[in-house]
Amino acid sequence: MSTLATVAGWQTPFSIPPFEAYPDNQFRDSFDSALTSARKRIDAIATNPDAPCFANTVEALELASWELDRICSVFFNLVAADSNEIREKLQADLAPRLASFSNEVAMNQGLFQRIDKLWQSRSELSLDEEQKRVLELHYRDFVRSGASLDPESRNRFASIRVRLAELRTAFAQNLLKSERDWTLDLSGDEVSNLPGFLVSALEEAARERGLRGYCLTLNRSLIVPFLQYSESRKLRQVAVEAWCNRGAPGTRTDNSVLLEEILALRQELAELLGYRCYADYKLETEMAKSPLQVRKLLDAVWKPALGQARKDASVLQAMMQDDGVDDQLMPWDWRLYAERRRSREFDIDQSEAKQYFPLPRMIEAAMDCAGRLFGLEFEEILPQLYHPDCRAWRVSRQGDDIGIFIGDYFARPSKRSGAWCSTFLDQKKHGGTSRPVVVNVCNFVKPSQGQPCLLSFDDTRTLFHEFGHALHALLSDVRYEKVSGTAVARDFVELPSQLFEHWMELPEVLSKHARHAETGDAIPEDMLAALLAARNFDQGFGTVEYLASAYVDLTFHTSDKISAPLSIERQVLDDIGMPRAIVMRHSASNFAHVFATEGYASGYYSYLWSEVLDADVFETFLEEGGPFNANTTQRLEQHILSAGGSRRPDDMYIDFRGRLPSADALLRKRGFA
């Protein structure tokens, strides 16, 4: 086995990780070996007696930790998608070790001096555009990781990063435990008025946990339809409170102390680097650049969204009172009465509509759109994967292999909640060509054996969203892994995913692929028209619950002193006029985006920022001939999807569109114009 080939990927068919080669009891030894190899290579680069050049410093650094990168990609994907006690314990042990290694690299003065010399003399180097960008990013990473601090500050910075890694891991594991352990047993009478698909899902959830009858879990794809259809106000309240109390004070998985320490350490880290607050530090490298720009966008959308939500609340309140409930509209009431209103105003039976959205057909729809847009072909293959529920496809174009796509769609107790896209292998050319191995992970309710998995309209949107991320990774065409695929600014990374959602709503796509799970009949035209007419239904609610979390995240990270963050959360909600009948999408104690990772810390606004971009891009398609216009598609792939992070996002967007966007297209998309 050649070293070059190993750097490029695993020596397996299609470079799919050999999961059987990573038993849980050998992960620790694999990490030990990979860390030892990486340290030797880093030391060799830092102590190289030759004058620094791009090849012996930057390119060498790109390949220095390839074994560690590979083992991390396998292990952390497994921890998120199929965890167990052994993996969780190892994760807790590894978090500080990996953070310490990251500090060793970032604060290696010999290595930084070589990078700094290259950066200072960059105008004299014969570098192409991608190499200039890679050098810029490496230099920026070193500076932002404390390399230029004095020794005492460097030590403190390093200890903060190690402690943050420990805290984030504990936060994530608490959240997984709270979601895994909570169930609500339901009697036959309590499910008798629920639609058949939901009764079947509740029964399957019980069976999966070794229980009899029916049980509700905190899987979002299960709890949302329960809130939409359960006639029991008491049970709906129990469900909402359980959802909101994940990681709450006083619970067995209390996250409140953790998040307070996380916020304090982030602030200290930012101050060590000379920033006023953590948001100033974090947003400097994003498209938004500053907290002020973020708040301007949030404010621009909040007012119309809140106005719409208040109008909707008054309608739902009247419906509830007509129902004989003499009380204020509460969070456990909203979805029930909103669903009744949707059914009444658009004549939609969601239970019947789901019959036309079987999971296999929707996967086929996403792949068909990718084929029409980018010429991609998908051939299902049967490798050994990490869980029997996973499926894999070989992706090619005009006979050339592009990569591998893996779909892991069903909820299980070992999987964290939500939906995400990740990679086992990133595309690159330096050090041997590697083709991406991409995975989409979702939490759709697994059907009973022999029954089809039926998606809601929103579930289908989630599937397309994550597939958009996958396309970003699959279509990457860069030389260096540093800028491959989704390695872009956080408020740019959601552009491809949110953009691809538009194709899911195209009548020509749904007419072709939305077919009855049993009969194969195409979705009726009147049902399709109703679903599309209702796509902006309850946007006030959806926008308000999201924006509330974004405001809280921004406030947490623009405050220079944080104490009692849950009290601050309540104050923020009061200040923005949060309706009592809507709860924020993620409260602080279970805000995994922000506290289980650094990725979205002070960056939860990113979905909205990217939506400004995606709405504007899709309008470009419509202006230039339609959603499958070949010229627009070619520019999209050239300037955005294939370019990864090889250029600054503002420049890439301007090259595609000719200008930066305004929020107007977003307001039109959400029905607030």
Give the per-residue pLDDT at 2.
Answer: 36
| Nearest one of 187, 180, 458 to 335, comparing CA atoms | 458
* Arithmetic mean of pLDDT, 429-438: 96
Clarify whether 466 is annotated catalytic. yes
In a domain, residue 622? The reply is no
Sign of the four-CA dihedral 360, 365, 367, 368:
positive
pTM attached to this predicted model = 0.94
Choose, from 204, 466, 481, 494, the residue flagged as catalytic: 466
- Looking at the chain, the whole-number percentage of residues with pLDDT higher than 70 is 99
Residue 335 resides in a domain: no
Domain limit, last residue, from 244, 275, 292: 244
pLDDT 10s digits, 569-588: 999 999 999 999 999 999 99
Q: Are residues 119 and 50 in the same domain?
A: yes
pLDDT for the residue numbered 557: 97
b/e for 250-288, b at 16 or more Cβ within 10 A?
Answer: ebebebbebbbebbebbbebbebbebebbbbbbbebbbb
621-659: per-residue pLDDT in tens? 999 999 999 999 999 999 999 999 999 999 999 999 999
pLDDT above 90 (res 1): no
Same domain, 123 and 232: no
Domain closes at, from 470, 487, 504:
487
Is residue 5 over pLDDT 60?
A: no
With beta carbons less than 8 A apart as the criterion, state whether 441 and 491 touch: no
- Reported as a single tens digit per residue, the pLDDT across 141-151 is 999 999 999 99
Average pLDDT score over residue span 71-89: 96
Condensed to tens digits (0 to 9), the pLDDT of residues 320-341 reads 999 999 999 999 999 999 999 9
With respect to residue 563, please indicate whether it lies within any of the assigned structural domains.
no
The domain boundary, picked from 454, 487, 520, lies at 487
Rounded mean pLDDT, 420-442: 97
pLDDT at residue 3 tops 80: no
Q: What is the mean pLDDT of the chain?
A: 95
The verdict on 189 and 102 lying in the same domain is no
Q: Are residues 8 and 57 in the same domain?
A: yes
Tokens at 175, concatenated: 């959240």
The 10 Å CB-count burial string (b at 16+, else e) for 629-646 is beebbebbbebbbbbbbb
Please say if the pLDDT value at position 366 is more than 80.
Answer: yes
Are 158 and 196 part of one and the same domain? no
pLDDT in tens, 212-248: 999 999 998 899 999 999 999 999 999 999 999 999 9
Say if residue 145 is in the same domain as residue 218. no
Ordered DSSP codes for 369-427 = HHHHHH--EEEEE----SSTT-EEEEEEETTEEEEEEEEEEE--TTS-SS-EEEEEE--
Band (pLDDT 50/70/90 cuts) for residue 113 is: very high
Mean pLDDT over residues 493-506, rounded? 97
pLDDT of 4 strictly over 50? no
547 lies in some domain: no
* pLDDT score recorded for residue 159: 98
Mean pLDDT of 473-495: 97
What distance separates the 2 farthest-apart alpha carbons in the chain?
A: 83
State how many domains the chain has: 3
Same domain, 136 and 187: no
pLDDT at residue 560, as a whole number: 80
What's the CATH code of the domain at 424?
3.40.390.10
Using only the alpha carbons of the chain, give its radius of gyration: 25
Strands 377-381 and 214-216, bridge-based pairing: unpaired
> Domain residues for 148?
3-176
Mean pLDDT of the region 597-604: 94
pLDDT of residue 672: 85
pLDDT at 6: 59
Instruction: Please tell me the predicted confidence (pLDDT) of residue 358.
Output: 97
Statement to judge: residues 17 and 146 lie in one domain: yes
